[in-house]
């Protein structure tokens, strides 16, 4: 599979990343087995980059990954393993605690230690701060990132869901390049095309990773605001283009995202082996500029000015 360098790091990631958020399912033995099989399908299809977070399956997804590495003998040196932290769910660790973000040194260090233990790894190739903590002291957070790198727990750092100004602020205190910004990009949510996030990635050579890339097509995107009329108009154009290029709707939308010049890395979250393999078809589409704009027009409900 085509590879791209992750920002100013030495990590050569496959263009499609495999997202591990759903691989523990309901955490039953059957669901975990299905998750391991999904990981095997991804590894066999050539994906070398696996995206985690401490909170996925409350830690179970990282465990399932370690089980699959052992069971199928994935070669560690071929893998890029990413994990994230910074989100506390409600009632965690104490009943009554609200959902919140936490970039405190203690929380970050404890969380990365926990991820490494569950993943059975000595270091993460890439560590991302999951969502911007409004109470972040950027100098202190940058010092914690440096501590993670100096200790060998983490090789490279980046962020997720950061605005361009949040990225710039943290980068100004951090001595190494932040190498990735993982953000939501799909046909419903095109904020990063318009708010400077992807411009910043292109300008600084930061790798944009796209989460929930097929939201709005295969399933309603987070915070869906499309009306039934919007949905029908978009679906008509997606269907037309999918038939033209001879792929399924969601594969076509991956090609739409891949066309973005910041060289976005879509994160594929399906646990269905056929879909994990079929996603690769998006890399071979010779997708035209004209169709890209027709899709944007259908999405927006009007022509560009
Ligand atoms: N940084 C962040 O804040 C953040 C937030 C969310 C996610 N993420 C990362 O992004 C990754 C990808 O997100 P995602 O899992 O939402 O990705 P996705 O690839 O957009 O969606 C995958 C989901 O869509 C379903 N699906 C796929 N094709 C379908 C079809 N044709 N019809 C109906 N359903 C279909 C899959 O079901 P099956 O499994 O049954 O195929 C699965 O439930 C996650 O694994 C995680 O690593 C990051």
The number of residues in the chain equals: 305
- CATH code of residue 129: 3.20.20.100
Q: Which two tokens stand for residue 164?
A: 């361009």
Taking only the tens place, the pLDDT of each residue in 121-131 is: 999 999 999 99
Question: Which pLDDT value is given to residue 93?
Answer: 86
Active site residues: 56
Domain assignment present for residue 100? The answer is yes
Specify if 116 maps to a domain. yes
Residue 269 alpha carbon to ligand 1 centre in Å:
4
DSSP-based three-state secondary structure for 289: helix
215-260: pLDDT as tens digits: 999 998 999 999 999 999 999 999 999 999 999 999 999 999 999 9
Number of domains the chain is built from: 1
Question: Does 183 fall in a domain?
Answer: yes
Q: For residue 16, tell me if it sits in a domain.
A: yes
CA-wise closest residue to 184 among 138, 225, 223:
223
**Pick from 42, 22, 11: nearest CA to 279:** 42
Q: Is residue 214 part of a domain?
A: yes
Q: Each residue of 66-111: pLDDT tens digit?
A: 999 999 999 999 999 999 999 999 998 899 999 999 999 999 999 9
Classify residue 84: in a domain, yes or no: yes
267 lies in a domain? yes
150 CA distance to ligand 1 middle (Å): 33
In a domain, 136, yes or no: yes
Range of the domain at 105: 3-224+260-285
- Check: CB of residue 41 under 8 Å from CB of residue 11: no
Q: For ligand 1, is residue 13 a contact (CB within 6 Å)?
A: no
**Ligand 1 touching residue 218 (CB < 6 A):** yes
Pocket-testing residue among 51, 213, 270, 280, ligand 1, by greatest number of atoms within 8 A of Cβ: 270
């Amino acid at each position: 599979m085509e590879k791209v360098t992750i920002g100013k790091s030495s990590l050569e990631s496959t263009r499609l990343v495999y997202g591990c958020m759903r691989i523990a399912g309901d955490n039953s033995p059957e669901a975990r087995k299905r998750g391991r099989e999904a990981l095997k399908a991804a590894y066999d299809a050539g994906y070398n980059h696996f995206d985690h977070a401490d909170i996925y399956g409350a830690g179970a997804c990282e465990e399932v990954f370690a089980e699959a590495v052992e069971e199928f003998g994935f070669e560690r040196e071929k893998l890029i393993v990413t994990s994230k932290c910074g989100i506390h769910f409600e009632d965690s660790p104490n009943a009554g605690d609200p959902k919140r973000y936490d970039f405190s040194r203690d929380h970050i260090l404890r969380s990365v230690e926990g991820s490494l233990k569950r993943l059975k790894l000595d270091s993460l190739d890439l560590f991302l701060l999951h969502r911007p903590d409004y109470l972040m002291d950027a100098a202190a957070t940058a010092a914690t990132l440096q501590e993670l790198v100096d200790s060998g727990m983490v090789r490279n750092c980046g962020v997720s869901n950061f605005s361009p100004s949040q990225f710039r602020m943290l980068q100004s205190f951090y001595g190494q390049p932040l190498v990735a910004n993982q953000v939501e990009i799909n046909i419903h949510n095109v904020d990063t095309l318009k708010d400077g996030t992807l411009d910043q990635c292109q300008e600084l050579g930061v790798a944009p990773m796209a989460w929930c890339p097929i939201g709005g097509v295969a399933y309603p995107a987070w915070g869906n605001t499309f009306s039934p009329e919007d949905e029908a108009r978009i679906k008509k154009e997606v269907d037309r283009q999918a038939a033209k290029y001879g792929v399924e709707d969601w594969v076509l939308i991956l090609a739409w995202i891949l066309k973005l010049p910041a060289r976005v890395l879509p994160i594929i979250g399906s646990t269905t082996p056929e879909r994990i393999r079929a996603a690769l078809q998006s890399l071979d589409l010779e997708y035209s500029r004209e169709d890209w704009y027709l899709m944007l027009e259908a999405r927006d409900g009007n022509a560009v000015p």
